[in-house]
Structure 1
Amino acid sequence: MNRRLIAAIGTAALLFSVAACSSSSKSTATSGSSSTSASGKTLTVWLMTGDNPAGWVSSVTADFKAANPGVKLNIQIQQWTNIVQKVTAALSQNNPPDVIDIGNTQTPYYAAAGGLMDITALKSALGGDGWTASMNGSAVYNGKQYAAPWYAGGRAVMYNKKLWAAAGLTSTPTTMAEYISDLNKLKTTSGVQSALYLPGQYWYFFDGLLQQAGANIATQSGGTWTGTLSSPAALAAAQQFKTLQAYGTAPKDQTETNQDSFFEKGNVATMIAMGYEQATIAAAAPSLANEIGWFPIPSDTAGTPGKTFLGGSNLAISAKSQNATLAQSFLKIALDQKNESMFAKDSGFLPNTSADYSALAGNAYAEAYEQAAPEAGYTPLVPTWANVENAPNPITTLFLTPVLEGKSPASSAAAADAQIATRLNQQQ
């Protein structure tokens, strides 16, 4: 999820203009269905790239049109690059997209600014009584429901079975020490260019190493945030990241965007990946379709997967939607058991209720990450967290890449901590 924000002050000002202009009457709407009076209208839904499996889109579209005769459903696919800037601008318009697919850690940002409809009264009607508490945490701000948790997922290790066998490896590792041992075998195996392809700005993976080390990106005390990458535990996590990054040819100054294009060449043995990347690789390189396997990112303790960042998306209704009732109908349909289970099966992401986990059976990525999910955590769920991801992201540009290039970890962490604190403590 690579996001590029506009300048922080400009963003805050723009979002507050959204809050000032939004209609409070829409936040109290309670109907989850439409009527024939809506015929001829168009409901616009923004979904992020990778969040639109064909079977699910077809099912939701058919169900929505059946429930709302004569209404057109306009699903538009968005790219993650610059998405916060784009959504921010859209929410300031009088006719924004009606439903938006938003990253879970970004939800408080939009909610605090008034850009999202308060759907607290709709929670039960949308199936919210059964939502997994940890997933729903990112959709709530100041005790009010501003979005519906849609799915969650995290990183696991994708591996090339053919290269694994060529290295003489007959099982997957259950500890980080075993994984390092396997990487050492893989790097000397014929046909392997990268034992682990790990881009140097892959901070979502780094966040999991931080959690595993008992560290944080930042902590809050007395209402003030302090960056904590300078802590001994965080510096140890950075060293572990550097050790792992050296097992491949991935650039030190790039993110994981399009990393699947390297795996599909057939000479990458392992990669830290999300489930949807497997489908992309299989489509581009059909010969690899049956050669991809998965296992949880290991921890130091056998039987306990490593901690990961719990990514995912929520579905929200724009506060200024001109089709609020239709938007509520869409959410109810998209999140019902049939369609939520279908999305989980097609995408491999965890559904918003454990009752639908049976849909994940046979999906190697999902079965691997399902083991790791109980160990997963979030970055700070606060409105100003989005400022930290503002380009240039200090976690990557001031800390990870400099450390990988040989600069002092302590001084790099201090520079990143100062910038993280500044951004988190900005007035919204």
Structure 2
Amino acid sequence: MKPWLKLAAGAAALALAAGGCAGSGGSGATGAPNDTLTVWLMSGSAPTTLTDELNKEFETSHPGVTVKYEVQQWDGIQQKLTTALASEQPPDVIEIGNTQTPFFASQGVLADLSGSVNDFNGSQWLAGLKPSGEYGGKTYGIPFYAANREVIYRKDMFEQAGITAPPTSTAQWLDAIAKLRAKFGSDPDFQALYLPGQDWYALLSFIWDNGGDIAQPSGTSFKATLDSAGSKAGLEFYKQLVDASATKAPKDTDEANPQQATIYGAGKVAMFIGLPWEVATAAKTDPSLTDKSGAFPIPSKTAGQTAPVFLGGSNLGIPANSKNLNAAKDYLKLLSSAKYQTDLAAAGDVPGTSSDVNALTKDPLGSVMAEASKNGRAVPASPKWGDVESGQNPLKDMLTAYLTGKKTIDQATADADAALDKLIG
């Protein structure tokens, strides 16, 4: 699993040092002799072959500028960024999680890139990623790459159960579950769909597909809307899947506890909602799963359509105190070009630009992710969203309370709204 998908942002919990307020940003002349452009990208984000070529091309087109490329580790990056961005000598180009971007933008430590959006291939940005880089009507982060979930399934089990094609609606999905249980249900360990009780990423797809949402903008903050009719319908469908599949997954943990790929690797699960590279994890237990596994987009209630998916990933930004602002913009312009976005896609990521996702079609599982990404969305662009993920996540609490019957759907959603409003309202 990509590290940023399990990173707890915790952004709002970190206060910037009072003595390190950001300035307006340097104007460092492009190509100025003896300049050093410091670039921080995260471990696992871009292949070395890509960054080596990128840095060489940039230095060739900017005589006298040396790229100081530094790979950062996800563990501890929140505090490291907080300190660096408040200093007078920050890096010039940074990668930040897309749920972290609004927080740093709200602190005034990121450069306003609104006037350069077209230079960064802005017309091609994936619609679902663009809002995560915006704050207060301005753009502070540009989409780098992302990933989204899909339904991974056992092709051999589908065939044995008489399912001739992947489901293209929620009704067909439920029908496939029924056929799988009819065929393999005599095995007490069999699960047609492994679905843990707190997989709120999957829940978002069902909420959005039914016209609901987590929250809506309200002035300068957000108002939780989990008690809306559409959001409740999404929650009800989640329970319908849990009940129909008779999943044995815990109702009080998420997809990482235990790792669902390991459960799938044991050979008793026909489907799970996950990321393409989770198959490789499962194949460590059973290598045959590499060839036996296929994928289809999370179905919509509307036949022939796909449900919206959560896009988790990274943005690129420039610290407000960068002394090489113009050169940093040139670097982002190059990295966001079709050439390097296509290379990202070839490496297995959903690139930030929609025109280049088709490079993922070389991988059968990746091609499904790429297609679904075009109907992707992000979480509310609140500076305080990190508190939702790193603390007592109201979405997880809501799911467990409703699935276990401890609360009615009205009680569970109302309580979740109240908790969310305290965090992001």
Q: How does 1:187-266 map to 2 (within 5 A)?
A: 187=181, 188-189=183-184, 193-221=190-218, 225-246=222-243, 247=245, 248-257=247-256, 258-266=259-267
Between the aligned partners of 2:260 and 2:29, the Cα distance in structure 1 is 43
Between the aligned partners of 1:102 and 1:7, the Cα distance in structure 2 is 11
Q: Is the 8 A contact 1:42 1:74 kept in 2?
A: no
Change (3 A) 1:401 1:61: farther
Q: Which residue of 42, 48, 62 corresponds with 1:47?
A: 42
C-alpha distance after superposition, 1:138-161 (max 9, x if no partner): 323233321111234422111122
> Paired residues, what number?
411
Aligned to 1:74: 70
Aligned to 2:406: 407
AA aligned to 2:254 is T
User: Comparing 122-131 with 285-294, which one deviates more in the overlay?
Assistant: 122-131
Change (3 A) 1:355 1:363: same
Q: Offset of 1:63 from its aligned partner?
A: 4.0
Q: Which residue of 4, 13, 16 corresponds with 2:8?
A: 4
Q: Offset of 1:59 from its aligned partner?
A: 4.0
Change (3 A) 1:406 1:147: same
AA aligned to 2:69 is L
Q: How does 1:174-189 map to 2 (within 5 A)?
A: 174-187=168-181, 188-189=183-184
User: Comparing 232-241 with 124-133, which one deviates more in the overlay?
Assistant: 124-133
Q: Offset of 1:395 from its aligned partner?
A: 1.2
Q: Which residue of 93, 99, 106 corresponds with 2:93?
A: 99
> What CA RMSD, in Å, does the superposition of the two structures yield over aligned residues?
3.3
AA aligned to 1:309 is F
User: Comparing 190-199 with 252-261, which one deviates more in the overlay?
Assistant: 190-199
Q: Offset of 1:341 from its aligned partner?
A: 0.2
C-alpha distance after superposition, 1:326-361 (max 9, x if no partner): 644542332222211011122141x33333244233
Between the aligned partners of 1:228 and 1:322, the Cα distance in structure 2 is 42
Using structure 1 for the length normalisation, give the TM-score: 0.82
AA aligned to 1:423 is L
Q: Which residue of 134, 137, 142 corresponds with 1:140?
A: 134
C-alpha distance after superposition, 1:391-417 (max 9, x if no partner): 1111112x1122222211322222211
Q: Is the 8 A contact 1:345 1:359 kept in 2?
A: yes
Between the aligned partners of 1:91 and 1:285, the Cα distance in structure 2 is 45
Change (3 A) 1:333 1:224: closer
Q: Is the 8 A contact 2:276 2:369 kept in 1?
A: no
Q: Offset of 1:65 from its aligned partner?
A: 6.0
C-alpha distance after superposition, 1:304-330 (max 9, x if no partner): 112222333211123344665664454
Aligned to 1:347: 348
Between the aligned partners of 1:359 and 1:383, the Cα distance in structure 2 is 33
Aligned to 2:117: 123
Between the aligned partners of 2:77 and 2:404, the Cα distance in structure 1 is 29
Q: Is the 8 A contact 1:207 1:308 kept in 2?
A: yes
User: Comparing 83-92 with 144-153, which one deviates more in the overlay?
Assistant: 83-92
Change (3 A) 1:95 1:284: farther
Between the aligned partners of 1:207 and 1:171, the Cα distance in structure 2 is 25
**Runs of 5+ in structure 2 lacking a partner?**
none
Aligned to 1:313: 314
SS at structure 2 position matched to 1:229: coil
Change (3 A) 1:89 1:279: farther
User: Comparing 261-270 with 371-380, which one deviates more in the overlay?
Assistant: 371-380
Q: Offset of 1:296 from its aligned partner?
A: 1.1
Aligned to 1:294: 295
Runs of 4 or more, structure 1, over 6 Å off, are none
Between the aligned partners of 2:306 and 2:424, the Cα distance in structure 1 is 30
Aligned to 2:160: 166
Question: Sequence identity of aligned pairs in percent?
Answer: 34
C-alpha distance after superposition, 1:63-107 (max 9, x if no partner): 45656775442212415xx76566445534555554333333432
Between the aligned partners of 1:300 and 1:133, the Cα distance in structure 2 is 22
Between the aligned partners of 2:178 and 2:140, the Cα distance in structure 1 is 47
Aligned to 2:381: 381
Between the aligned partners of 1:384 and 1:363, the Cα distance in structure 2 is 36
AA aligned to 1:37 is N
Between the aligned partners of 1:42 and 1:282, the Cα distance in structure 2 is 41
Q: Is the 8 A contact 1:147 1:316 kept in 2?
A: yes
